[in-house]
Every structure is written in C-alpha cells, then in structure tokens.
Amino acid sequence: MIDREEALRICDEHFPNGLDYLIGRLSVRVDRSDIGDVDGWCYYLPNGNRVVRLSSTSTKERQRFTLAHELAHFVIGMRQTLTLCRDVYDPKGPEEQKANDLASQLLLPTRPVAAILEGHAIDYLAIKELINKAKVSDIVVALRLAKSKNEFGLDRPTVIWFENGQIKAIHPRGRKVPAQVATVLFSEASSSADRTTRQTQPDGTVLVASVLPNANYPTLFLYHAKARESQASPRRSGLKAQEAILFANDEALRSILNGIIGGQKKRLLLLDISERTDFVIERFINAGTSRLPEHLEKVQSQECYEWIYAKMEALG
C-alpha cells in the first residue's frame, strides 16, 4: 500500500502526469460513463481490486480533480467499501475534506509549483500558467494556494467568490475582507490588461489581487506580498506584451498556432525546446490552408519564433 508521502513523491517526480503513475502503483481501474448528477465514486471489488468511476459528462478538468480525489481516498485509507462523491468542490464531512486537500497536493505538488511561481507575484498570468501546466481548473489552483499556509511563503492568501456582484463566500472561512474593498479590487483587476491590481498597504506590503479565468464563478484571488516580490515575472509579462503586438488584429493566426500546439502536445513533449519550436513552424508552413499566404512572413519572423519558443518552454 502506498502512503501519503509516497503518493506525493510520485506526483512530484512525474508532474504533471503523476496521477497516471499513481493509478499504476495503486493498481486502480478507471472507468468513465454517464453517472448522472455525481462526479464519481471509488470502491473495492470483492477480490480487493480498486475501481474509480468518473462522470464522462464532466469537464476534463473536473474529471481530473475527481480522479485525484478518489485516488486520495485509497491513499488515506477508506473506511467504507464505497465512497460516493456528488460534488468534489463542496465536500461533506472531514473524510471528504481530507481527500480534497490531498487531491490538490497531488495535482499541484510543492516543488514544481514553487518553480513556476519563481518568487514573483502570483498574478493572473502565474495562475494561468499553473492551470495550463497542471491541467486543472482555476478554482483548484486558487484553493491550493489559499490552503498552503507557509508552504509558498504567502501572506494571507484568500479566495473570494461573487454572485450577482455580491460576495458569496470567502476562503479560508473566518477571513474578513470588507465587501467594498473586495468589490473595488475585483473591478480594478477586471479592467486591467493583466487582470491583476496591486495596492501598496500602510505596512509597506503590496496587496496583489487577480480575477481568475472562470466564467461561471467570478473569483478573486488575493494575498499580501513584499514589494520586491509583487511584480510580474519578466518572462510571463514579456510574453504577454509580445503576444499583444504579434497578434494585434489577427486572432486567426493566434488560433491556428494554438491549435497546432494543442493538437500536437504529446508529440511536442518528446522534443527539446528548439525542436518543438521548429516543429510548430514547419507544421504551420506545411498545413496548406488558404490562410497561409498572409501569415507566412509573420510566422517566419524572429518575433514569432521567440513567442513560440516561450510557449514551448511553458509546456513543461
């Protein structure tokens, strides 16, 4: 049997594909089907084999978190032969909460997350990179950071959910954020180019607040940072500025390139960074679509090469 520390080690070593290795080590069979209004469940067969059933109608990100949640039950030690989960984001009882907490750590292990954060501000761009690399939802990232305590050296990390312009919930429970302050932060971050606002506080810290990319649950993530750690990563902010220039009034080109990158991700991960970049450009040139003539010059430019190179680095 694999204990908690071993499970975390496996997911750290094989990030972001740790769950695949954990499934193998735990000898778990994973099935997907339409199971109604539940996210999934896990159970033991009479012969002792382990099975996880996932809802095939859920989003890929939700299925991924449900899978981590159910695997966490096996790692922690199930008290029952069957554990049913109707909503992994709203756990009922201490056992479900423990499974949620371990699931978020399996998906977002400390070492690779800290490496991505780089000691710079945890702003919208940083959160977006975590979402893309770990293949999880923004809520999973926000809650992982909010529950991290001193793991990443964060001061008062907080998640605030809104509904109809009003605060619906704040996490951690008991954290106090005035409604007017939260509303102003949300408005300022939403209107900012990088979806993040920074406010210097009387104690010299900087309040960093970011609106997360969730269309269903308007969410604000905020924390207090030291002044020198409140600025965006030059790598991420530079890529964003470069992207704005490169694709100004040309969303079609951005869409084609992102389509190639997304569609060829498994193959790209087998190559080094330079090989990935060359592959994407060659794939674009050889695509043979009617849109190519107007884009060929731009794709072969140094600016586009640098943008694709940075995207290939971000793949992991």
pLDDT in tens, 150-181: 899 899 999 999 998 899 999 998 899 999 99
Among the candidates 199, 229, 259, a domain finishes at 229
Q: Output b/e per residue, 270-286; b: 16+ Cβ within 10 A.
A: eeeeeebbebbbebbee
Residue 37 predicted with pLDDT over 90: no
* Short-list 157, 297, 139, 271, CA closest to 225: 157
Q: Is residue 292 part of a domain?
A: yes
Q: Is residue 114 part of a domain?
A: no
Average pLDDT over residues 80-107: 81
What is the domain range of residue 173? Answer: 120-229
Question: In this structure, what CATH number is given to the domain that contains residue 171?
Answer: 3.30.450
Map residue 50 onto helix, strand or coil.
strand
Question: In this structure, what CATH number is given to the domain that contains residue 81?
Answer: 1.10.10
From residue 201, alpha-carbon distances to 44, 65, 143 in Å are: 53, 36, 24
Residue 26 predicted with pLDDT over 90: yes
Instruction: Say how many domains are in the chain.
Output: 3
Residue 289 predicted with pLDDT over 60: no
Q: Is residue 222 part of a domain?
A: yes
**Distance between CA atoms of 240 and 246, rounded to whole angstroms?**
10
Q: For all residues of the chain together, what is the average pLDDT?
A: 88
